[in-house]
Amino acid sequence: MTFLKRLISTLILAPVVIAVLYKGGIAFQGFVVTLMAIAIYEFWNISREEVKRRWKITVFVFGVLYSLAAIYAFIDMRMQYGFVFTGLVIIGVWASDIGAYIFGKLIGGRKLCPSISPNKTWAGLLGACLFPSFILDGYLAFFATNLTPRETIAWSMGASLVIGLLGQAGDLLVSMMKRRVGLKDTGRLIPGHGGILDRIDAMMLVIISVWGLLTLKVVLWNANLLAF
């Protein structure tokens, strides 16, 4: 039943995200700001459960800054790099989540980090890093027609690995906060998924990190310190 709820929620939400991403402009910006405002509220929910005042403040301040960074990264990436590239990152994260779920359920095995997330396995991590390559290979073959087949495979595999590792790290980051205060979910907004933060925790770290790497490359290029 939980899987069915997750599937239905995904089938409803995914077209909405793709539509506003394609539209860009105010529609996309408003959508991102709304999501992150809810994420901030859910960080507040986590912080309220903290016993120590110092940790209450730390969690909430981190949540606000983290969410603001994600807003800027999302919007700037869409403006600077367009629908296709931003879509590649988002779809890559979705595929990574699916891969982690499938590999984790079918293979199971040794736990990845049981003290933080009891359900995560090393097999799930493998799926998170491997599965997106199959989806992104088709995505790039359709959109990036200037790439050779070998380049398409190389890019899809590289993106899959980066997205998989960063996404799982982002998931564990929020799981660590929830685990500390005994929360299973950050909210109940999305059936089968929990809160918004439960659904986009991986996406936030991936978007921020990829945007940061791209920005660093531009800075180094402009300073003539990079030649690729």
On the question of pLDDT at 44 being above 80, the answer is yes
The tens digit of pLDDT for each residue in 97-138 reads 999 989 988 887 888 888 888 888 999 999 999 999 999 999
Q: Which percentage of the chain shows pLDDT scores above 90?
A: 54
Task: Tell me the pLDDT band of 146, cut-offs 50, 70 and 90.
Answer: confident
3-state secondary structure (DSSP) of residue 57 = helix
Residues paired with residue 117 on neighbouring β-strands, in sequence order: 113
Q: Which two tokens stand for residue 72?
A: 């800027």
The tens digit of pLDDT for each residue in 181-220 reads 888 777 777 665 678 888 899 999 999 999 999 988 777 6
pLDDT for residue 6: 62
Specify whether the CB–CB gap between 39 and 170 falls below 8 A. Answer: no
3-state secondary structure (DSSP) of residue 195 = coil
Q: Which two tokens stand for residue 40?
A: 């901030």
Q: Where are the alpha helices (DSSP H) in the chain?
A: 2-23, 25-48, 53-106, 122-143, 149-181, 196-222
The stretch 158-185 carries a mean pLDDT of 90
Q: Which percentage of the chain shows pLDDT scores above 70?
A: 90
pLDDT for residue 4: 63
Task: Tell me the pLDDT band of 226, cut-offs 50, 70 and 90.
Answer: low
pLDDT for residue 160: 95
Mean pLDDT of the chain: 87
On the question of pLDDT at 10 being above 80, the answer is no
| Cβ atoms within 10 Å, residue 226 | 12
On the question of pLDDT at 68 being above 80, the answer is yes
On the question of pLDDT at 228 being above 50, the answer is no
Task: Tell me the pLDDT band of 1, cut-offs 50, 70 and 90.
Answer: very low
